Structure 1
């Protein structure tokens, strides 16, 4: 059986703020829609499912994020995840300039959880708390510098 990763879906409080954050980092919006109806209820498993969605893509065309903001049922607030909690908790991006990426994140009020680490002089990396509490890992490959 062949398998391909299609996208990573992330529920957000404010889809416009999340789109602004990720497009400023370099992703592009490749589609937007509002979804509802029986097919959406069946696919997602929620009655009355109604959401705004946006599909974003990395410049290389391989990575995709699907952001969704629920209109109905109401979104459920949760505490921001911690790096050691079970389940999906972060999305990771390679960047060619981590300092520039952090400047962009800061313009959106998003900052590293602690700081920028150097992993064996191979990567500079950090976890940033992004929009809607999403943990975003940014990593600069030092071997190509």
Structure 2
């Protein structure tokens, strides 16, 4: 059996806000749609499933996320995931310049949870809260970029 990761799905409060954030970080919109119908009810397991969706991909084409904003049934608000909670955790991105990525995130009101860590002069990395409370990890590989 062959298996490959297609994407990671993330429910959001406001799909336009989330798209803007991820596009500004460098992802590209691969497609958008509104889904509903029997097939969507069956696939997702929700009666009356109706959602706006957008698939975004990394410029290298190796990673994708699927954002969805529920129109029906109503989205359920929960507390944002903490870094040590069981379950879906975060989405992580490699960036070539973490300072530029953090400046971009800040324009969306998104800041590191605590700061930027330096892991043995190999990585600079941080977790931040993105749109809808999504945990986003940004990491810069210092072995592949000019040391700062």
CA distance in 2, matches of 1:35, 1:126: 34
Residue 82 of structure 2: aligned partner: 82
Report the 3-state secondary structure (helix = DSSP H, G, I; strand = E; otherwise coil) of the residue aligned with 2:139: strand
Residue 38 of structure 2: aligned partner: 38
Task: Report the alpha carbon displacement of residue 138 of structure 1 after superposing the two structures with TM.
Answer: 0.1
CA distance in 2, matches of 1:42, 1:117: 44
CA distance in 1, matches of 2:107, 2:46: 35
CA distance in 2, matches of 1:144, 1:73: 45
Residue 6 of structure 2: aligned partner: 6
CA distance in 1, matches of 2:32, 2:129: 24
Report the 3-state secondary structure (helix = DSSP H, G, I; strand = E; otherwise coil) of the residue aligned with 1:143: coil
Residue 112 of structure 2: aligned partner: 112
CA distance in 2, matches of 1:51, 1:144: 40
Task: Report the alpha carbon displacement of residue 144 of structure 1 after superposing the two structures with TM.
Answer: 1.2
Alignment of 1:1-145 (within 5 A): 1-145=1-145
Query: TM-score when scaled to structure 2?
Result: 0.97
Report the 3-state secondary structure (helix = DSSP H, G, I; strand = E; otherwise coil) of the residue aligned with 2:106: helix
Aligned residues: 145
The unaligned stretches of length 5 or more in structure 2 are: none
The runs of at least 4 consecutive aligned structure 1 residues that moved more than 6 Å come to none
Across the aligned residues of Structure 1 and Structure 2, the Cα RMSD in angstroms comes to: 0.4
CA distance in 1, matches of 2:38, 2:57: 28
Listed one character per residue, the Cα deviations across residues 11-39 of structure 1 (whole Å, up to 9, x for unaligned) are 00000000000000000001000000000
CA distance in 2, matches of 1:41, 1:125: 39
